[in-house]
Structure 1
Amino acid sequence: MTSQTKTAPSISFELFPPKTGQGFENLKRTISQLNQAKPEYFSVTYGAGGSTQERTFASVDWLREQGIETAPHLSCIGASVEETVAILQHYRDQGVNRIVALRGDLPSGAGLGALGELNYANELVSLIRERFSDQFRIEVAAYPEFHPQAPNPETDLANFKRKVDAGADSAITQYFYNPDAYFRFVDECSRLGVEIPIIPGIMPITNYSSLVRFSDACGTEIPRWIRKRLEGFSDDLESIRAFGLEVVTELCRRLLEGGAPGLHFYTMNQSEPTLRLCDRLGL
């Protein structure tokens, strides 16, 4: 197993822009609570085809006003070069210096005619480097269990390497529950000459039906023993959360002990599950 360079592990938190004013007020409280853990940054998601653009802008605006380091997601599929550069200039003017560069998904119902000038994440990374040089630190996505649309693992690894070669600084993985998948992925990247930090994405377990729905959509495997235990709890949310805390805490410990450079938590705009994990891990 190839461990990455060991330093103090970084932590970062992902948020999504709320749909309502009340949701935004709730998010502010969540951010204030999460910020007590002193994360390196908060990332803010960006809907398919830029569908949450204004709400993403508003969330980033508020975070920056609080002096909180922020990494907006930016997806490129279906976008033009001109509008993408305009968004990047907007973020640069806000003082944002980190971007999560993604291919993204077309909005539901959009056909191939909706494709734009940028259709792959490596093209977005290249554009950022061409127009903005090193003004942004660029995070890209990685898939230890491989992208659900990739025809095979070799193609997925080649696609990831293209993003790195285009100028990515580090990567955040899709969430997973099998640490061996992560370590094998890191080893395979290393054999390809990819040495950027690869940060595991961590999804707390708080609700079984939601977890299954998310995992089926994004291609994440829930190991059978975890599925069976969660199924056995039925609607007992307290037991699901207690078991989920044990499982994900042990996952994070194995990752950090094995050399993972940090952890990126998919918070789902909730503070308690992530903060309990950080507390258990001494972060």
Structure 2
Amino acid sequence: MAVANIVNQDKKLRQFSFEVLPPLKGMGTEKLFSDIEKLCALNPAFINITTHHSEYVYKDVGEGRFERQRVRRRPGTIAVAAAIQQRFGVPVQPHVICSGATIEDIEYELLDLQFLGITDLLLLRGDKAKEDSVFKPTPGGHTHTTDLIRQVQRFNEGFFADGTPIKCPGAKFDIGVACYPEKHEEAPNLERDMEYLRQKQELGAQYAVTQLFYDNQKYFDFVDKARQMGITIPIIPGIKPLAKLSQLTVVPKTFHCDIPESLAREIVKCKTDEDAKRLGIKWTVQQCRELYEHGINDIHFYTIGAVDSVVEIVRELRVQ
């Protein structure tokens, strides 16, 4: 079943979905598929697979000189998606991003995905490269997610980006996008950021998944405001359990979200990462139960570095 249909079906059905990260170049897939086996035992609605901007590395060419080379740090998004679909029979949703890709690169990604029978996509601009102070589109690439949506929709209509007709059009792609209850870091304000979400809906986005958050009220307020603005697509909450002491400072910096003061007070009492992990599980269970009380039954977990916590959380929620 397509992800768009899954998130629009019976709202009384409680469902979980998960995000996973392909392994670093050369690291192999043993750990990844071990984690996915644990997650698939929970009967997920779907699994999405991240992709990342290519980055510059500097190769020593001798005599004190270095040559800058661009390399893709985490290969395998499409291959991992295909392997999950084949091995586990779970709907998959690879990320397709603007960052680090040309329009032609994206076109070939779409063809590969179509050949594999993978038609659920999460379309994102992607993060800026670490060496850049602001996002810089790849020459010949897109600047915004809205541009990427237009390309995919044009492909769905049976045309390549240059206007050439596709001789044998395949199955059409369904489109999910991201949204930010505490606004995207580059947006001037939440209202402007939400206007971008409305534009994504108008271009054909069928649902949105939020950036992670720890304060449910911010999610509730965001959804209420979205509905007032005419945004009607499902907005799936994205949740990531805290798992380490360092995340008290790392998470707000990396994901640009607030840690509620009540949670921060408890984290500073933790003595070890195991203490922080137990706290993260407890907080996330409470957070999910509050979402349930408000009629939100589709929950998306960011599992990176927290697979065992997520497994425990889902099992606890199912026995309540």
User: Does the alignment reach a TM-score above 0.5?
Assistant: yes
1:180 — aligned with what? Answer: 217
* Residues 1:81 and 2:81 are matched in the alignment: no
What is the SS of the residue equivalent to 1:32? helix
What is the SS of the residue equivalent to 1:95? coil
2:295 — aligned with what? Answer: 259
Q: Deviations over 1:165-201 (max 9, x none)?
A: 1111111101111111011111111011111110000
Q: What does residue range 188-227 of structure 1 map to in structure 2 within 5 Å? A: 188-210=225-247, 212-227=249-264
2:276 — aligned with what? Answer: 240
Name the larger-Rg structure.
2
Q: Deviations over 1:16-69 (max 9, x none)?
A: 011155551011111111101111111110012493463223312321221332
- Decide whether aligned partners of structure 1 residues 70 and 94 sit closer, same or farther in structure 2, where only a CA change above 3 A counts: same
- Decide whether aligned partners of structure 1 residues 165 and 64 sit closer, same or farther in structure 2, where only a CA change above 3 A counts: same
The one of 120, 126, 136 equivalent to 2:144 is 120
- Decide whether aligned partners of structure 1 residues 73 and 231 sit closer, same or farther in structure 2, where only a CA change above 3 A counts: same
Once the two structures are TM-superposed, the CA of residue 107 in structure 1 deviates from its matched residue by 2.2
Q: What does residue range 1-283 of structure 1 map to in structure 2 within 5 Å? A: 6-19=11-24, 22-49=27-54, 51-52=72-73, 54-66=75-87, 67-110=89-132, 112=136, 114-133=138-157, 135-210=172-247, 212-234=249-271, 236-268=272-304, 270-282=306-318
CA contact (8 A) 1:13 1:264 kept: yes
* Higher mean C-alpha deviation, range 195-204 or range 262-271: 262-271
* Higher mean C-alpha deviation, range 56-65 or range 251-260: 56-65
CA contact (8 A) 2:46 2:93 kept: yes
The structure that is helix-richer by fraction is 1
Identity of aligned residues (%): 29
What is the SS of the residue equivalent to 1:208? coil
Q: Which amino acid aligns with 1:145?
A: E
What is the SS of the residue equivalent to 1:48? coil
CA contact (8 A) 2:24 2:75 kept: no
- Decide whether aligned partners of structure 1 residues 118 and 126 sit closer, same or farther in structure 2, where only a CA change above 3 A counts: same
CA contact (8 A) 1:15 1:44 kept: yes
CA contact (8 A) 2:15 2:298 kept: yes
Q: Which runs of 5+ in 1 are unaligned?
A: none
Whole-angstrom distance in 2 between the partners of 1:45 and 1:7: 28
Whole-angstrom distance in 2 between the partners of 1:83 and 1:19: 21
Q: Which amino acid aligns with 1:166?
A: L
Q: Deviations over 1:183-223 (max 9, x none)?
A: 11111110111111100001011112135313212211001
Once the two structures are TM-superposed, the CA of residue 78 in structure 1 deviates from its matched residue by 4.6
- Decide whether aligned partners of structure 1 residues 172 and 277 sit closer, same or farther in structure 2, where only a CA change above 3 A counts: same
Whole-angstrom distance in 1 between the partners of 2:14 and 2:147: 30
What is the SS of the residue equivalent to 1:119? coil
Q: Which runs of 5+ in 2 are unaligned?
A: 1-7, 56-71, 158-170
Whole-angstrom distance in 1 between the partners of 2:24 and 2:74: 11
Q: Which amino acid aligns with 2:209?
A: I
Q: Which amino acid aligns with 2:125?
A: R
What is the SS of the residue equivalent to 1:27? helix
Instruction: Give runs of ≥4 in structure 1 deviating > 3 Å.
Output: 20-23, 110-117
Aligned length: 279
Whole-angstrom distance in 2 between the partners of 1:164 and 1:52: 31
Instruction: Tell me: higher relative CO, structure 1 or 2? Use CA pairs within 8 A at least 6 residues apart.
Output: 1
CA contact (8 A) 1:170 1:197 kept: yes
